[in-house]
Amino acid sequence: MATGEDAAALAADGTRERSISQTLKAQVALRALVLEGELSPGERVSELQMVERLGVSRTPVRSALVRLQEEGLLEAIPSGGFSVKAFTEREVLEAIEIRGTLEGLAVRLAAERGIDRSDLATAATCLDGIDEVVQRGRMEIDISRYAALNAQFHAMLVGFAGSQALARQLERASALPFPSPSALVPVQSRSPESRHILTIAQDQHRCILLAIENREGTRAEAIMREHARIAHRNLERAFANQRDMDLVPGSALIKRRIRV
């Protein structure tokens, strides 16, 4: 039979679970409002406003606002509250460059420190899956499947570095929607050269993994940084074509440069 203390503990656990659930709900909903352009760049976002709009209490809303500020989607304003952050094209390109630089460091550390054969085999299996997606025999590439496997492989590489500090910095750098490894794959899929580009990217994946296996840190880092340039090219293509730009996650936050 449960004691009074047991009942109190169960009630406390239930309260904590509800609190976590409400916080996640607020974060997901608020992030969607920002990324989908429901809240415009520069628009002030107050705690009370979001309580009414999201239908949750002030505490989860406060946590969600702070979380999105940490992710770089909101910024604090002197008068109180937050505003939706706007990004220039240059800042978006720099975000991709930062991600590529950090991933380059990750694969160099992995190569220099060495990784288990089982980890190499797991990564190779993931790449085999990507090969199946991009093989020339298929009429149409499954972009969603490619993006998922690509994100999985990049996450493995970061894990191979064995550095929690680096992993935290990469998580922060990839918190924005546009610099993550697979964010611009849908834009790439619109290119007539899509299969060719994916084949090049996959070859770079293989070369990075081989460099790690051979303990060639400098080579692994150089290839990874070059690999990130594919995302740069995809973004430049999107900047020149609104139809492609609509596929960029968080495109509503990017201030477009006027082109003549």
pLDDT class for 23, splitting at 50, 70, 90? confident
pLDDT class for 138, splitting at 50, 70, 90? low
3-state secondary structure of 21: helix
Q: Which of 85, 105, 137 is the last residue of a domain?
A: 85
Arithmetic mean of pLDDT, 71-96: 89
Tell me, yes or no, whether 163 and 235 share the same domain: yes
Least confident of 8-22, 78-92, 130-144: 8-22
Arithmetic mean of pLDDT, 158-169: 94
CA distance 93 to 22: 34
User: Domain of 41: which CATH number?
Assistant: 1.10.10.10
Residues spanned by the domain of 76: 4-85
Residue 256: the pLDDT is 73
Residue 1: the pLDDT is 53
pLDDT class for 233, splitting at 50, 70, 90? confident
Is pLDDT of 14 > 50? no
CA distance 224 to 24: 33
Q: Which of 85, 117, 133 is the last residue of a domain?
A: 85
Is pLDDT of 15 > 60? no
Residue 259: the pLDDT is 55
Q: For 195, phi and psi rounded to 5 degrees? A: -65, -40
The dihedral over CA atoms of 33, 35, 39, 43, expressed in degrees to the nearest 10, equals: 140
Residue 16: the pLDDT is 53
Tell me, yes or no, whether 111 and 57 share the same domain: no
Arithmetic mean of pLDDT, 136-165: 88
Beta bridge partners of 74: 84
Residue type, 58: R
- The answer to whether position 43 is within a domain reads yes
Specify whether the CB–CB gap between 160 and 116 falls below 8 A.
no
Token pair in block for residue 70: 């940490």
- The answer to whether position 132 is within a domain reads yes
- The answer to whether position 77 is within a domain reads yes
Question: In the Cβ-directed half-sphere of 248, how many Cα atoms lie within 13 Å?
Answer: 28
* Number of residues that make up the chain: 260
Is pLDDT of 194 > 60? yes
pLDDT class for 8, splitting at 50, 70, 90? very low
Arithmetic mean of pLDDT, 30-48: 90
- The answer to whether position 260 is within a domain reads no
pLDDT class for 197, splitting at 50, 70, 90? confident
Tell me, yes or no, whether 18 and 103 share the same domain: no
Tell me, yes or no, whether 64 and 108 share the same domain: no
CA distance 196 to 208: 19
User: Domain of 240: which CATH number?
Assistant: 1.20.120.530
Q: How many domains does the chain have?
A: 2
- The answer to whether position 152 is within a domain reads yes
Tell me, yes or no, whether 186 and 101 share the same domain: yes
- The answer to whether position 98 is within a domain reads yes
CA distance 59 to 66: 11
Is pLDDT of 219 > 90? yes
Tell me, yes or no, whether 100 and 80 share the same domain: no
Arithmetic mean of pLDDT, 183-207: 85
Residue written as token pair 């969607």? 32
* pTM given for the model: 0.78
Percent of the chain at pLDDT > 70 equals 89
pLDDT class for 195, splitting at 50, 70, 90? confident
Residue 236: the pLDDT is 84
